[in-house]
């Protein structure tokens, strides 16, 4: 009897998986750039600004992703993995106009400082429920702890976490980082 319930549970997941399989190629073509072997669940995610979204080869974007890159680009490198429910936002609302509700401020009224690109370099692991905000660059080979809110940039091979996120430690020594770079990137 338990086996029947397990089978039924797995079958219940099939429609959403197939729906994503059908629509993923359409979403990938609408992106600024999409590499080969990208895993994407677009119908179970909230992605805005596809024309400003670039994703590198072999990256995995899970269901439940929230990516808002409407006025500034979001660039995700190669071989990046995300835990469940990542959020990345490349802009803010303008909040300094007197006599106007925040929601009523138009895109034309935004200032250049209200939007800034986000870059996640190659080989980054973002844990579950990570939030990355405008103007941030995450260096290659970094790890972001689950639940972190990233408001500043970090160098390659950083292990970061917290609210707001801070450097916890470096993943490799300087010599190990150079060796890893040589093996992976030839530099």
* Active-site annotation, residues: 93
Separation between Cα atoms, residue 85 and residue 64, nearest integer Å: 5
Q: For 104, which DSSP code?
A: G
* Cα separations in angstroms, 64 against 8, 88, 128: 23, 12, 11
Tokens, residue 118: 């986000």
Beta bridge partners of 143: 125, 159
Q: DSSP for 43-87?
A: GGSEEE-GGGEEE-TT-EE-TT-EEE-SSS-EEE-TT-EE-SS-E
């Amino acid at each position: 009897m338990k086996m029947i319930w397990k089978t039924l549970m797995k079958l219940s997941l099939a429609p959403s998986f197939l729906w994503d399989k059908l629509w993923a190629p359409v979403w990938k073509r609408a992106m600024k750039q999409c590499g080969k072997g990208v895993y994407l669940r677009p119908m179970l995610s909230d992605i805005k600004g596809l024309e400003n979204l670039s994703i590198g080869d072999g990256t995995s974007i899970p269901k439940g992703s929230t990516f808002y890159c409407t006025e500034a680009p979001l660039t995700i490198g190669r071989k990046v993995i995300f835990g469940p429910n990542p959020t990345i936002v490349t802009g803010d609302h303008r909040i300094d106009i007197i006599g106007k509700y925040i929601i009523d401020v138009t895109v034309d009224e935004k200032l250049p400082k209200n939007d800034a690109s986000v870059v996640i370099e190659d080989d980054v692991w973002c844990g579950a429920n990570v939030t990355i905000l405008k103007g941030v660059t995450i260096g290659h080979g970094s790890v972001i702890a689950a639940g972190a809110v990233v408001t500043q940039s970090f160098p390659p091979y950083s292990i970061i976490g917290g609210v707001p996120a801070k450097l916890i430690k470096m993943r490799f020594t300087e010599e190990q980082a150079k060796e890893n770079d040589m093996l992976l990137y030839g530099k």
